[in-house]
Chain A
Amino acid sequence: MAANPMYQFNVYRIGPEIKLGQIDISFTNASLFMVISSLAILIIFNLGASKKTLIPNKIQLLAELSYSFVSKMISDTAGSKAKPYFSFIFSLFMFVLFCNMLGMIPYSFTVTSHIIVTFVLAAFIFVGVTIIGFIKHGLGYLKLFVPSGVPMVLLPLIVVIEIISYLSRPISLSVRLFANMMAGHTMMKVFGGFVLSLGIVGGWLPLSFSVALTGLEILVAFLQAYVFAILTCIYLNDALNLHH
């Protein structure tokens, strides 16, 4: 059973079954890794924030560099108006990043390799951004679907395309992260399986491949978190500074 590369994505209950009415909200391995990720972020950043020295130590430097990194990312893509949403985007980026990175530990569980998790995050962002857009611009936010400088003949087509692309945002955002995570981990599992099945004679090729893949996956883990956060910033930018 362990040879199945999809087995690693199985969710199973840890501890007793918790039921809220008819709904099963038991604590699972996915929940465990969400809790671990959040706790790791909180502990690291709390350590990095509590000391107040002029020359930062390593953990403080880590926290402050992450802070300025996210801060710069937001101000570059969404401008100064996006400042109030800094803590949300920071939490989002860190949560996705830590979930991805913790998933790279062997025998651990990757929270973000589940479409339901990424979809809930993306849907929340989508709904939130849409609400912000309507609050900021009223019905004028609908101008987002009518790009300026388009010939009148093409306009109906363009508007339809814009609406479809807008509505597909949560799907593309969530599927991008989920598919990247799942594909990477599946591939690593498959190559790991090759190492075992080819044995000491032929196993070296897939093993070296596996090592290279691990490096690639760590890069992808960071990159996907970054992409997730920066796309959120871009959507936010559309909602805040309406200039399509």
Chain B
Amino acid sequence: MLKKIIFQIFILSFAFLTSAQNAETGGMPQLNPEFWISQIVWLVITFGILFFVLSKFILPKISNNLETRKSQILENIESAEKQREESEKKLKEFDKIIFESKNKAKNLFNDARQKVLDDINKKRAELEKNIDDEVNAAEKEIDQLKKSSHDKITKIAIETSSDLVKQLIGEEVNNSSISAIVEDLSRKNKEKHNGI
């Protein structure tokens, strides 16, 4: 293995030496002035044409392309910005409309409720008034009945008493005296019942 490496190094150095020697004997073709003028002339021609065509025709086009692209992009960004602003405005308008309509709906609902409540209250008041009236009328009737019943009872008692007396003693008794007695008795009874 070592032998092989040494051999290779030997070969390599040999090859390098020979090539270096070759280079030395050949010299540098760059320093041979035979074609210097020709190279200068052709350099001037080709580079001149290259420079002329590039600067007159090609580079302005490229710079123009770049400029138009830049301006187009700027324009697009501007229009996008504008559209965004517009959409924001529209969104605000939309929100406003929604808010307003919500308010309106609330008002309508409140109004309707108020109306219904008012209606109900009114009806209830009417109803209560009716009931009160009827109750009053009934009470009045009851009072009247009470009052009239007392008189009727007294009258019935007087008639019954006069009839009773007539049957028992077979004689007409003065109604007025009987009524006085009955009234006196009934007052007494009433006092007894009422505890006065």
**In contact, B53 and A30 (Cβ under 8 angstroms):** no
Considering only CB atoms, which chain A residue lies closest to B49 in the complex?
A38
Are B22 and A38 interface neighbours, CB within 8 A? Answer: no
Task: Report A-chain residues with C-beta under 8 Å of the C-beta of B29.
Answer: 6-7, 9-11
Q: How far is the CB of A10 from chain B (nearest CB, A)?
A: 5
Q: Which of B36, B37, B42, B51 has the most CB of A within 10 A?
A: B42
**A103→B36 CA distance, assembly (Å):** 19
Please give, as numbers and ranges, the residues of chain A lying within 8 Å of B72 by CB-CB distance. Answer: 54
- The SS class assigned to the A binding surface is helix
Q: Which residues of B contact A60 (CB under 8 A)?
A: 65
Given contacts A28-B38, A194-B12, contact A9 B54 (CB under 8 A): no
1/0 per residue, CB under 8 A from A, across B31-64: the answer is: 1101111111111101101110111011101110
**A94 partner residues in chain B, CB cutoff 8 A:** 50, 54
- CB neighbors of B among A45-99 (8 A): 45-46, 48-50, 52, 54, 56, 60, 63-64, 67-68, 86-88, 90-91, 94-95
* B8: A residues at CB distance < 8 A: 198, 202, 205
| Nearest Cβ on chain B to A31's Cβ, whole angstroms | 4
Q: How large is the interface on B (under 10, 10 to 19, 20 to 34, 35 or more residues)?
A: 35 or more
Given A6-B23, A87-B55, A91-B55; A48-B62 close (CB under 8 Å)? yes
How far does the Cβ of A189 sit from chain B's closest Cβ, in whole Å? 8
Partner of B15, one of A6, A49, A193: A193
Minimum CB–CB distance from A216 to chain B (whole Å) comes to 19
Q: Which of A26, A27, A86 contacts B59 (CB 8 A)?
A: A86
C-alpha spacing A45/B28, complex, angstroms: 35
Supply 16 A–B pairs (Cβ within 8 Å), ascending by A.
Answer: A6-B23, A6-B27, A30-B39, A31-B42, A49-B62, A86-B59, A90-B54, A90-B59, A95-B47, A115-B31, A116-B40, A121-B47, A190-B19, A193-B19, A194-B15, A197-B15
A residues within 8 Å of B by Cβ? 3-7, 9-11, 13, 23-28, 30-31, 34-35, 37-38, 41-42, 45-46, 48-50, 52, 54, 56, 60, 63-64, 67-68, 86-88, 90-91, 94-95, 111, 113-117, 120-121, 178, 182, 186, 190, 193-194, 197-198, 202, 205-206
Sample of 7 further A-B pairs with CB below 8 A, known A28-B35, A193-B15: A7-B26, A11-B29, A26-B35, A34-B46, A46-B58, A120-B39, A197-B15
* Chain B residues near A (Cβ < 8 Å): 8, 11-12, 15-16, 19, 22-23, 26-32, 34-44, 46-47, 49-51, 53-55, 57-59, 61-63, 65-66, 68-69, 72
